Amino acid sequence: QNYFWWDIRNLRSWDSFNVETISTIPGLYTLLTTQVDANRLAAIPSATKTATPDNESNLIDLVNKIYAPKVNAAVSVSQGPTCLSLYPVPTTERQVNGPHFLANYPHDNERTLAGGARGRVVGLIKSFDQWNTGMRNEVPYQKVKYLNGLAHLQKCMRDHSCRYGFILTEIELVCVRAGCDEGSDIPYYGYLEIGRAHV
């Protein structure tokens, strides 16, 4: 394992990442309430067999089959076919401690130092009993598990040279941004801004 809980040295709240700020984007409400022909959306398989995953691997498959296509279809309808899209990292390419999902543009040919596709956003899928935001207020060993999950995400973000990432569990979505000085885009190691969890 090449990341550790003590890598996370400074956590701040990502206050600007909230519904109120996002709702000030011009035209967003109109976009969200626009009727869309069902033929333009991705065909999503029935969730009856996968709605209760037995393990983290099954949870990753569930996100891959159901949630990622819905997100990609919605973004594609609003921004066109050259938009950012989310896709699972193939198991054959996934490193032991690598991300489960990446998002980038179809025309994006940038590569990481290791030769893999560069991610503009990286994502991890974790089982809620192994990682959740409530752990930050629990007993010390649970806090260590919480920080270790963030350290894992920070490692993936650094490996893919991006500032943005997320952790998705069965019960919440947590968006993370690598922190940096005001007016700078060079993040500090160990400094993460955490968005409010969305359940």
DSSP assignment of 78-105 equals HH-TTS-EEEEPPTTT--TTS-SEEEE-
The tokens for 168 are 């998705």
* Residue of 136, 163, 162 lying closest to 149 (CA atoms): 136
pLDDT of residue 49: 56
Sorting pLDDT into bands at 50, 70 and 90, what band is 198? low
**Distance (Å) of CA 11 to CA 111, 147, 194:** 29, 10, 7
pTM recorded for the entire structure: 0.85
pLDDT score of 95: 64
pLDDT tens, residue by residue, 91-150: 665 566 788 999 988 888 888 777 777 888 999 999 999 999 999 999 999 999 999 999
Name residue 165's beta-bridge partners.
122, 176
DSSP string, 12-77: EE-TT-SHHHHTTSTTHHHHHT----GGGSPP----TTTSS-SSHHHHHHHIIIIIHHHHHHHHHH
Give every strand in the sheet of 164-168, ordered side by side: 10-13, 191-194, 173-178, 164-168, 121-125, 101-104, 85-88
Q: What is the pLDDT of residues 33-76, one digit of tens each?
A: 777 777 766 676 665 555 677 888 888 888 888 888 888 888 88
Question: What value does the mean pLDDT take over residues 154-174?
Answer: 92
The per-residue pLDDT for 42 is 66
pLDDT band at 26 (very low <50, low <70, confident <90, very high): confident
Q: How far is CA 74 from CA 32, 35, 66, 183, in A?
A: 9, 12, 13, 31
